[in-house]
Amino acid sequence: MALRIQRMPSSTPMIALAARVVAVVLALLFTALILAMNGHAPLDLAGEVLSSSLFDDFGLQDLGVIFIPLMLTGLSVAIGQQIGTWNIGAEGQFYAGAFAAAAIGLFVPAPDWLSILMMVAGGFAAGALWILIPTLAKAYADVSELISTLVLNFVAALLVYYVATGPWHDRMTNSATPAIPAEIPELWGVIHWGFPFAILLAIVLSLVLSNTKWGYEVRLSGSNPSAAKYAGIPVRRHLITVMLLSGAVAGLAGMLEVAGTVHRLQGGISNNFGYIGIMVAVLARGSLVGVIFAGAFMAFIQNSGIILQTEGLTTSSVLAMTGLILFLTAIGEELSYYRITREKI
Amino acid sequence: MDLITGLLTTAFLAGGVLALAAIGEVLAERVGVVNLGVEGLMAMGAVTGIATVTATHSPSLGFLAALTIGAAFGAAFAFATVIVRANQVLCGLALTLMGTGLAQTIGRGYSGMPAVATFEPIVVPGLSEIPILGKALFSQNILLYLIYIILPVGLSYVMFYTRHGMNMRAVGENPAAADAAGISVRAIRFLYVTAGAALAGGAGGYLTLAFVPSWSDGVVAGRGWIAVALVIFAGYRPGMAALSGLLFGLITALGFVGQARGWPVAPAFLSMLPYLGTLAFIIVPVIAWKNMRRTMAAPAALGEPYYRNVR
């Protein structure tokens, strides 16, 4: 009997999940070690995080409020993954959706319900518009979407910063627009109706992808484009639709943030949600329903960072830890393809 | 005249950051590894540079420390992507998040303070008096000669005129053939990914020790991503990477001059120029220079991990 390490062509969902759990635990342990070396008490901090987020009504509400944008940007990235693309620009599409929502909310007079509906449509459209150039460049000239989607993040952030501090600014604050009159009604505490809407969207999209001919063709185009093309599937058309949809969902996230949570447009409104969305999609392994759980987990991590600010920690250290989780997850994902097999001699 | 002189001087200075990082990325991509962590490596280099110069008052030591931290993070990235063969896109993004977050955490104590010592321009007597070009070429800090002359010329020679350079390119084009010819794919990849990351760290150090020169949270401002894009535009050549960096420096300089002279455009829009330029830079070549595709194309095995026993 000899033991042999072998790389298999695929890995099972259970092992992939286990690899993610191990990656997360290792990243948390490593962070705790660093904190302990800097004179913090990691266990006390963890206790504080748990008691003031999971075991506290207001804490749970804060968690829910962060969950909505994170889950949606994660959904956006995961949608792109279905056809084999990486939408690194969810951050920019988020800003674009927020921008459109604020523009409609501030300057188009309408009754509240109509205003909200227009903002939803505007958020979708602005997100899709923001990814339009990278989409066309990818579809017609095979330009990698990695960088083209990313650079537009900076353009969108600058644009929002400009209008929020310039032409649209509020006379009182100078750093944000005036409050937007139409607000998405609240459901529980500060959690608004965007919460169930976002979850429903993920479930519906997941069902469409796994149960329709369109969804089948999209998934096939993603896993083997040449075979899909040979089978007569319009790969290019699917690529364009899916990428625009990915942008639209990130735009919706920005719209909900403006109309449901912040109620005004301000510079830096995205808080890295777009980048953390990539992390959510990776943890979910591209599963649209998995995004709901991965989004909840990442919301917990981000919320912990906010709680720990009172202890002298910064949100940047949480960003660094998010990077570490992503790094270890990528390694774990690769290792989950290996099996130790016994072979008889 | 003053306008053009000022524009060129700033262009060389601003382009240096991008040129150095882009040359580093050329090294990684030529051996077949996409490193999307340049942005994070630059942030780490920038904060390490400023921390070292604050402690030692020596910009050279600061630059050296920036190179070292780049190499250290690069080695971790190379371990994950070359040895374990994990997904390069994910590891690169992770490196960007880690580097940016960590640099901001470390940099809190240095925020907004100007560097205590910087790389000062060296004025070459006589030559710097040449009209228009003199000041731009002969009144610059020493690093610019490294970035625009020594590295591109040296690396081009090694890559295209030596046996080692052929081996290196073979690893990026066809690792299986290189492996069969007795070249260690892992060793070459590990070496050049780490070296490229060191240069990215150095580019961050250049930012806080010669160009800005101070640390603030958003000081890297997407330059790492622009550098990655420039590599595509530069056709994966060190010389072209340096030139593209310069061209981008010119775009940045235009924005600065516009702000200084009070052009009737909001500063935010002038700041968008480099990003919009990047978008144009990666789309235009594909459409306009179709015939150049063979010489300017990406290494054939770019982004693909190499498994000896598959196929």
Q: What is the mean pLDDT of chain A?
A: 91
pLDDT reading at B76 higher than 90? yes
The percent of residues above 90 in pLDDT, for chain B, comes to 65
The pLDDT of B118-132, averaged and rounded, is: 80
Residue B165 lies in a domain: yes
What b/e string do you get for A237-276 counting C-beta neighbours within 10 Å, with b at 16 or more? ebbbebbbbbbbbbbbbbbbbbbbbbbbbbbebbbbbbbb
Tell me which residues of chain B, numbers 261 to 280, contact chain A at a CB-CB cutoff of 8 Å.
266, 268-269, 271-272, 275-276, 278-279
Model confidence band, residue A43 (pLDDT cutoffs 50, 70, 90): confident
pLDDT band of A342, cuts 50, 70, 90? confident
Q: Which of B90, B228, B271 sits opposite A147 (nearest CB)?
A: B228
DSSP B174-187: -HHHHHHTT--HHH
Separation between Cα atoms, residue A136 and residue A299, nearest integer Å: 33
Q: Does B308 reside within a domain?
A: no
Chain A positions touching B275 (Cβ under 8 A) are 151-152, 154-155
Angle subtended at Cα A146 by Cα A255 and Cα B17, rounded to the nearest 5 degrees: 105
Q: Which one is predicted more confidently, B242 or A60?
A: B242
Flag if B95 and A330 touch (Cβ within 8 Å).
Answer: no
Instruction: Give the confidence band of B308 by pLDDT, cuts at 50, 70, 90.
Output: confident
pLDDT at B161 > cutoff 90: yes
- Which CATH number covers residue B241? 1.10.3470
Q: Measure in Å the smallest separation between the Cα of A233 and chain B Cα atoms.
A: 25
Q: Which domain covers residue B68, as residue numbers?
A: 2-296
In chain A, residues with a C-beta closer than 8 Å to the C-beta of B309 are: 7
Residue B311 placed within a domain: no
Average pLDDT over residues A184-206: 91
The model's pTM is 0.92
Specify the higher pLDDT residue, B67 or A50: B67
Asked if the Cβ–Cβ distance from A323 to B36 is below 8 Å, we say no
Nearest CB to B283 within list A141, A158, A316: A141
Q: According to the model, what pLDDT value does residue A166 have?
A: 86
Residue A71 near residue A63 (C-beta atoms within 8 A): no
Q: Looking at the 3D structure of chain B, how many domains does it have?
A: 1
Q: Is B288 on the interface with A (CB under 8 A)?
A: no
Question: Taking a C-beta distance cutoff of 8 angstroms, is the pair B10, B249 a contact?
Answer: yes
- Name every chain A residue with its beta carbon within 8 A of the beta carbon of B308: none
pLDDT of residue B79: 97
- Identify the CA nearest to A67 among candidates A338, A333, A256: A256
What pLDDT score does B67 carry? 98
Contact residues on chain B for A314, CB-CB shorter than 8 A: 104-105, 108
For residue A34, pLDDT over 60 is answered with yes
- What pLDDT band is residue B233 in, cutting at 50, 70 and 90? confident
Nearest CA among B179, B201, B213 for reference residue B73: B201
- Is the confidence at residue A195, as pLDDT, over 70? yes
- CA separation for the pair B272, A95 (Å, rounded): 15
3-state helix, strand, coil in chain B (%, to 5): 75, 5, 25
Average pLDDT over residues A179-199: 89
Averaged pLDDT, A309-331: 87
Are residues A298 and A282 in contact, defined by beta-carbon separation less than 8 angstroms?
no
Question: Within a domain: residue B305?
Answer: no
- A277 vs B contacts (CB less than 8 Å): none
* CATH architecture, domain A58-312: Orthogonal Bundle (1.10)
Chain A residues within 8 A of B36 when measuring between CB atoms: 146
- Domain ranges across chain A: 58-312
Compare all CA atoms of chain B with the CA of A134 and give the residue at the minimum distance: B279
Interface test with B, best of A285, A327, A335 (most B CBs within 10 A): A327
Q: Which of residues 220-239 of B touch A (CB under 8 A)?
A: 221-222, 225-226, 228-229, 232
pLDDT band at B1 (very low <50, low <70, confident <90, very high): low
Minimum mean pLDDT among A217-221, B74-78, B119-123: which range?
A: B119-123
Residues forming a β-bridge with B114: B214
Asked if A148 lies within 8 A of B282 by C-beta distance, the reply is yes
| Alpha carbon distance B88, B65 (integer Å) | 26
Residue B301 resides in a domain: no
The per-residue pLDDT for B294 is 65
Q: Which residues of A touch B276 (CB under 8 A)?
A: 151, 155
What chain B residue is nearest to A165 in terms of C-alpha separation? B268
Do residues A208 and A215 lie in contact, with contact meaning Cβ atoms separated by under 8 Å? yes
CA distance B278 to A114: 39
Q: Is the pLDDT of residue A251 over 60?
A: yes
Compute the residue count for chain B: 311
Mean pLDDT, residues B269-279 taken together: 89
pLDDT digits (tens, 9 = 90+) for B163-194: 999 999 999 999 999 999 999 999 999 999 99
Q: What is the pLDDT of residue A307?
A: 84
Whether B302 is in a domain gets the answer no
Smallest CA–CA separation between A193 and chain B, in Å?
Answer: 31
Say yes or no for a CB contact (<8 Å) between B80 and A330.
yes
- pLDDT value of residue B247: 92
B163-173 helix and B2-30 helix, angle to the nearest 10 degrees: 70
Assess B307–A contact: CB distance below 8 Å, yes or no: yes
pLDDT above 80 (res A312): no
Indicate if the pLDDT at residue A345 is higher than 80: no
pLDDT digits (tens, 9 = 90+) for A255-301: 999 999 999 999 888 889 999 999 999 999 989 999 999 999 999 99
pLDDT, tens only, B77-109:
999 999 999 999 999 999 999 999 999 999 988
Which of A146, A159, A331 is facing B84, going by the closest CB pair?
A331
* pLDDT at residue B55, rounded to an integer: 95
| B2, pLDDT greater than 80 | no
Q: What is the pLDDT of residues B46-73, one digit of tens each?
A: 999 999 999 999 999 999 999 999 999 9
